[in-house]
Amino acid sequence: MPDARALFSGKKITVMGLGLLGRGLSDTLFLIRCGAEVTVTDLKTAEELAPSVKRLEGLPCRLRLGAHDPDDFINADMILRGAGVPRSSPFLLMAAEHGIPVEMDESLFCRHFQGRIIGVTGTRGKTTTTILIHEILSAHRAGVHLSGNVMGRATLPLLETAGPDDTVVL
The one-letter amino acid at 22: G
pLDDT band at 56 (very low <50, low <70, confident <90, very high): very high
Where does a domain end: 69, 85, 103? 103
* pLDDT value at residue 77: 98
Q: How many other CB atoms are found less than 10 A from the CB of residue 42?
A: 26
- Rounded average pLDDT over 103-115: 93
| Residue 122: per-residue pLDDT | 87
Whether the predicted pLDDT of 27 surpasses 50 = yes
Average pLDDT (135-148) is 95
Per-residue pLDDT for 20 more than 90?
Answer: no
Tell me the residue type at 156: L
**158 three-state secondary structure:** helix
73 and 152 housed in the same domain = no
What pLDDT is attached to residue 1?
45
Beta bridge pairs of residue 65: 42
Q: What is the CATH number of the domain that holds 21?
A: 3.40.50.720
Q: Which domain holds residue 146?
A: 109-169
Cα torsion through 130, 109, 105, 75, rounded to 10: -170
Cα–Cα dist 73/8, whole Å: 17
Which of 103, 127, 146 represents a domain boundary (last residue)?
Answer: 103
How would residue 151 be classed by pLDDT, with cut points 50, 70 and 90?
low
Is the predicted pLDDT of residue 91 greater than 80, yes or no?
A: yes
Predicted local distance difference test score (pLDDT) of residue 2: 56
Query: Does 145 lie in the same domain as 88?
Result: no
Give 102's pLDDT tier (boundaries 50, 70, 90): very high
- Which is nearest to 72 in space by CA: 14, 111, 27? 14
What is the per-residue pLDDT for 123? Answer: 85
Closest to 148 measured CA to CA, from 135, 136, 158: 158
**Residue 49's closest CA among 76, 71, 18, 74?**
18
Does one domain contain both 126 and 142?
yes
The C-alpha atoms of residue 131 and residue 49 are separated, in whole angstroms, by 28
Number of domains in the chain: 2
The mean per-residue pLDDT over the stretch 162-170 comes to 95
| Closest among 9, 34, 81, 24 to 56, alpha carbons compared | 24
Sheet containing strand 12-16, strands side by side? 61-65, 37-42, 12-16, 78-81, 102-103
